[in-house]
Amino acid sequence: MSTLWHGRFEGGPAEELMAFTVSLPFDSRLAADDLTGSRAHVRGLARAGILTEDECASVLSALDAVEVELRDETFVFVPSDEDIHTAVERRVTEIAGHAGAKLHTGRSRNDQVATDLRLFTKRELGVVIDKVISMQKVLLLRAQEVGEAAVPGYTHMQRAQPVLLAHHLLAHGWALSRDIDRLVDARRRLDVSPLGAGALAGSSLPLDPAATAADLGFAGVFENSLDAVSDRDFVAESLFDLALLGVHLSRLAEEIILWSTDEFGFLGLADAYSTGSSMLPQKKNPDIAELTRGKTGRLIGNLTGLLATLKALPLAYNRDLQEDKEPLFDSLDTVVLALGAMTGLLASSTFRLDAMAEAANAPTAAATDLAEWLVANGTPFRDAHAIVGALVRRSLDEGIALRDLVSASPELGPDAVFLVDPGVAVTRRTTPGGGGPQPVAAQLAAFSAQVDRDSARA
Ligand code: ARG
């Protein structure tokens, strides 16, 4: 077996070494970016006069041929192809001969693999951002469509104060908007080319890393070759952003699971986005939401795993860094699939507005409004809280309707009874950013503008 380093070594590699160290099974996913990086490198070599125009053309056309073979799946991998970079270079050399053997001049797999992975991540984060925007659009649409429907707002999973359903939906939307902000930011920071750093120290050849960076569409170029080949901050950041995005999806998923129970009855799941039971004929299960919740564990694991790999790693390249790819690929795939499924689930679910209204209109939902009504009439809040609290306790203990107790109360009286009427409490939330119709109308406009801004940044 002929390796890239066969000159220095007397024999071929052990079977166990190859079995343990190959990355081809997963890094073949970087093929397109490897070709892109190699094309820019070859053009750089030509500009530096290291390759003649003819040699450059012949290597570029060999790279084109490799692209076709990979696309048509006619590319024949050989046992010595330990990674996609080795495989491409081997094949280019077979096709372009002497000129092909010049492809790797002034380059190491260390700067090559870092370049490929940055190109890949830059593009794939864009795919995630687009998917998040699609989900935001569904949240916005559904929030617009449910108008002034109310739902109980919860703290401690106990009914607290009613809010508009739109307010609840948009709460998830704003979290997603911060995810987009983080992903855009991560993409901006990773937009630096490591190509030209060589194995670790640069080159004696007259290469121009800034020119290859520009050729590749990177916004900047490395300042330090040691850092360039060993920096995987962009992978760690991406994994964090994806994990937090997953955490946000899992919180929404958890509510979908709860809301679709018979106990809540707030949400009906569409047949196409739910599953049945192999044994229980009546079941309709929220598997998409459950897997979104469950797979978030992997997203967190991928992040902590990579951080553990990077911890205490000395400069510069170490083979440990090959462990960056699988968690990244897995987190990207997981999040993209979860976003697609959750967006469909959200778009197709039926809100049971009557059940929500009934829960939101329970008389005790107005307790805070009764206390605030007293405050508006001069009662200190602590006293108001105690007065209303005592009424609620009596109502529950003695089974007397709260409205009757409010009406008979010396502090509250008949003027305050309207607060207990169905649908009134939610309208009392008028402060900016609050859950009543007035602020939510403003919020819908603000969120819509935010989605437009996010789309423009994507
Ligand atoms: N496949 C490796 C990786 O993904 C690149 C190999 C670099 N190997 C080396 N011995 N310098 O990191």
Q: Atom 6 in ligand 1: which residue has the minimum CA distance?
A: 109
Alpha carbons 326 and 83: distance in angstroms, whole number = 13
Contact criterion met (CB below 8 Å) for 102 and 59: yes
Choice from 109, 325, 328 to test ligand 1 binding pocket (greatest atom count within 8 A of CB): 109
Could you report the per-residue pLDDT of 233-267, keeping only the tens digit for each? 999 999 999 999 999 999 999 999 999 999 999 99
State the pLDDT at residue 57.
98
Could you report the per-residue pLDDT of 94-143, keeping only the tens digit for each? 999 999 999 999 999 999 999 999 999 999 999 999 999 999 999 999 99
Q: Hey, is 312 helix, strand or coil?
A: coil
Q: What is the band of 182 on the pLDDT scale with cuts at 50, 70, 90? A: very high
Alpha carbons 103 and 48: distance in angstroms, whole number = 13
State the pLDDT at residue 242.
99
> Which backbone phi and psi does 222 adopt, to 5 degrees?
-60, 150
Choice from 319, 320, 325, 329 to test ligand 1 binding pocket (greatest atom count within 8 A of CB): 319
Token pair listed for 97: 């001969």
Q: Atom 12 in ligand 1: which residue has the minimum CA distance?
A: 322
Within its chain, how far is the Cα of 88 from the centroid?
A: 31
Domains of the chain: 6-105 (1.10.275.10), 115-205+218-358 (1.20.200.10), 361-457 (1.10.40.30)
Q: What is the dihedral of CA 393, 398, 402, 404, to 10 degrees?
A: -140
Alpha carbons 70 and 379: distance in angstroms, whole number = 77
pTM (global) more than 0.85: yes
User: Tokens 């024949």, residue?
Assistant: 76
**Ligand 1 binding pocket includes 240 (Cβ within 6 Å):** no
Q: Which residues of 243-261 are buried (b: 16+ CB within 10 A; e: fewer)?
A: bbbbebbbbbbebbbbbbe
Contact criterion met (CB below 8 Å) for 286 and 272: no
**Ligand 1 binding pocket includes 93 (Cβ within 6 Å):** no
**Ligand 1 binding pocket includes 322 (Cβ within 6 Å):** yes
Could you report the per-residue pLDDT of 368-411, keeping only the tens digit for each? 999 999 999 999 999 999 999 999 999 999 999 999 999 999 99
State the pLDDT at residue 244.
99
Contact criterion met (CB below 8 Å) for 352 and 267: yes
Could you report the per-residue pLDDT of 323-353, keeping only the tens digit for each? 999 999 999 999 999 999 999 999 999 999 9
Atom number of ligand 1 nearest to Cα 321: 12
